[in-house]
Amino acid sequence: MRQEEETPVEELSGRTAVVTGGAAGIGRAVGRRLAREGMKVVLADRDADTLEATAAELRGEGHEVTAVPTDVSDPEANVRLADAAFDAYGNVHLLHLNAGIGGTVPLLDPDPEVWQRVVGVNLLGVVYGIKAFGTRMVDAGEDGVIVATSSGAGAEGTSYQSGPYAATKNAVVSVMESLYGELRDRKATVRAALLFPPLTESSMGNPRVEQWLRDNGVPTTLMQPEDVAELLLDGVRRGRFYIRINEAENERLFGNRLSPEFFAWNERITRGRAEAQISDTAPDGHLW
């Protein structure tokens, strides 16, 4: 079943976007794609050197890009990022809370450090970003969208070998669904959206991970960051909340690069997860 679509952001050119995790990977690709749409782009990342190199590269292509080194796990750093964006451009129309890190550690490991770090970036980075930007975007009274990046781990199920990552990406889904409701109830001209990238070439995705997933029954295909940027732009233009690749997007945007087996697996796992909750059975079917 196709999801209902909200009012899209009608015009991007000349408006302002902020992208966290913008130095590399999906964030870098999204920043470039939005800049090519004529947006003024603020890129944020904790890796200041790579961030500035990315911004300089985009400026060299003729785009208006500002780089703001930011640790999204720090609430005050998010406020400084918002101040920089609003001071430079007057308003923010597209906020992509994309910064994320992996985390592979057994729950039975007594050291909490990995959990604290991953929760700080993947979950609290989204919460702090909403708090720093959300009210200011709403009060400006202009059309806008706040997008957060989840993951297959937040959609199809839990990758138990990456507990911190899976838990935070599931939590991001709940946060953004809550934001959707708050914005709806306020009749805000800013809306929420949730991006579910497929397995993507990045620091957390590579051919080795693709093969591991395939060996464990997930018929996935490694996509490129530019593919995710195209998916996000298409979803924003069409006013989608759940921005995911389904079979229509697979054909229209990506030439059927993802196999029919992937979508069959996706539906089976997603429905199986819901059925396990309804029937009060074990969740083994969606533990990779």
Q: Report the catalytic residues.
A: 165
Query: Which letter does DSSP use for residue 69 in this model?
Result: E
**Where is 96: in which H helix or E strand?**
strand 94-97
* Residue 147 contacts residue 232 (beta carbons within 8 Å): yes
Query: Which letter does DSSP use for residue 57 in this model?
Result: H
- Sign for the CA dihedral angle at 145, 226, 70, 112 comes to positive
Q: What are phi and psi of 270, to 5 degrees?
A: -65, -45
- Strand order, beta sheet including 144-149: 65-69, 40-45, 16-20, 94-97, 144-149, 190-195, 242-243
Contacts of 143 (CB under 8 A, 6+ apart): 7, 9, 10, 93, 189, 190
Contacts of 72 (CB under 8 A, 6+ apart): 20, 21, 44, 46, 78, 97, 99, 121, 124, 125, 128, 129
**Where is 175: in which H helix or E strand?**
helix 163-185
Taken as a whole, the chain contains a residue count of 288
C-alpha closest to that of 132 among 146, 113, 153: 146
